[in-house]
Amino acid sequence: MMLKLQWYNPTIKYQPGKQMELADTLSRSTLADYTSEVETTPVSMLDFLAISSEKLIQLQNCTKEELSNLIETINSGWPDTRAQLPISLRPYWDVRSEIAVSDGLIFRGMRVVVPPSLCPRMLQLVHESHLGIVKCKQRAREVLYWPCMNADIEETVKNCARCAEFQNKPAPQPLMPTKPPEHPYQEVGTDLLYYNGKHYILTVDFHSKFFEVDELLDESSTTAICALKRQFARYGIPQILRGDNGP
């Protein structure tokens, strides 16, 4: 396309759809004698649920008892603002355009909205294989939905003793001791500390283990540098200064 247009110098201008009468009319106007001969087959959302008859009846009954206000709101229409909703329905406000009622159940797309009383059982089924947080979320998002579902799954996995016992842990690394320097004040370690309402900076000589502490007026880098300069003026500038990568 770019090769065909290189001979021209086109100017692109935006035209609102309401001002494009021809295209707008053709896209909306239908023929008066047009009849569709395509046969339609009714499809039920229950055909896509892998659930037994007993569990389906239980789910429908719990939905009718616990989410009747939500069903009524979906059928009658949502209010203009979130504040006009009852407190129990406000968690569904952000997904109001995605949920619908079908066959006695509430669906968010292809996912079933779970009543509050069945959420613990669904959490147990989702975490039955101890797959971890990411896999459990992925498994639940395929068929289920309830407000704060991700947070509930995270809390369930984190509090699982078996997951904590067999979770992947990095292999313990051997200790790597620092070789002692040959001369005093050749290598120095430093850190900030807080004690009794005051801030201090501490330096330790790796050769003699001699340490010195200076009080700081604040924790700014300028104040810490000035304190270290005073110490280096007394004992000499070290070749290596070690810290804990603090701010």
Q: What is the mean pLDDT of each run of 10 residues along the chain (247 residues)?
A: 75 78 60 65 74 87 93 92 91 91 89 92 90 89 91 91 79 84 90 89 90 89 91 89 81
**Residues 195, 151 share a domain:** no
Tokens of 87: 């407190």
The one-letter code for the residue type at 77 is: G
* Overall pTM surpassing 0.95 (yes/no): no
8 located within any domain:
no
**Residues 197, 98 share a domain:** no
The last residue of a domain, from among 114, 133, 166 = 166
CA angle 116, 119, 121 (to 5 degrees): 135
**Residues 204, 107 share a domain:** no
How many residues make up the chain in this entry?
247
pLDDT of residue 33: 64
**Residues 110, 55 share a domain:** yes
38 located within any domain:
no
**Residues 194, 159 share a domain:** no
Measured CA to CA, the distance from residue 70 to residue 31 in angstroms comes to: 40
**Residues 223, 157 share a domain:** no
72 located within any domain:
yes
pLDDT of residue 28: 61
55 located within any domain:
yes
pLDDT of residue 49: 77
The torsion angle over the Cα atoms of residues 85, 86, 88 and 93, rounded to 10 degrees, is: 0
Q: Which residue has the tokens 């009714």?
A: 42
201 located within any domain:
yes
Instruction: Supply the range of the domain harboring residue 194.
Output: 187-242
Which DSSP letter does residue 185 get? T
Which DSSP letter does residue 171 get? P
Give all strands of the β-sheet with 240-242 in edge-to-edge order: 211-216, 198-205, 187-195, 240-242
**Residues 156, 55 share a domain:** yes
Measured CA to CA, the distance from residue 151 to residue 157 in angstroms comes to: 10
**Residues 154, 92 share a domain:** yes
The last residue of a domain, from among 166, 198, 219 = 166
Nearest to 117 by CA among 167, 65, 50, 52: 65
**Number of separate domains in the chain:** 2
The alpha carbon of residue 175 and the mean position of all alpha carbons in its chain are separated, in whole angstroms, by 36
174 located within any domain:
no
5 located within any domain:
no
**Residues 151, 99 share a domain:** yes
**Residues 131, 62 share a domain:** yes
102 located within any domain:
yes
**Residues 230, 155 share a domain:** no
CATH code, 116 = 1.10.340.70
**Cα–Cα distances in Å, from 22 out to 13, 14, 25, 27, 30?**
17, 16, 5, 9, 13
Say if CB 212 and CB 224 are below 8 A apart: no
**Residues 111, 67 share a domain:** yes
pLDDT of residue 26: 57
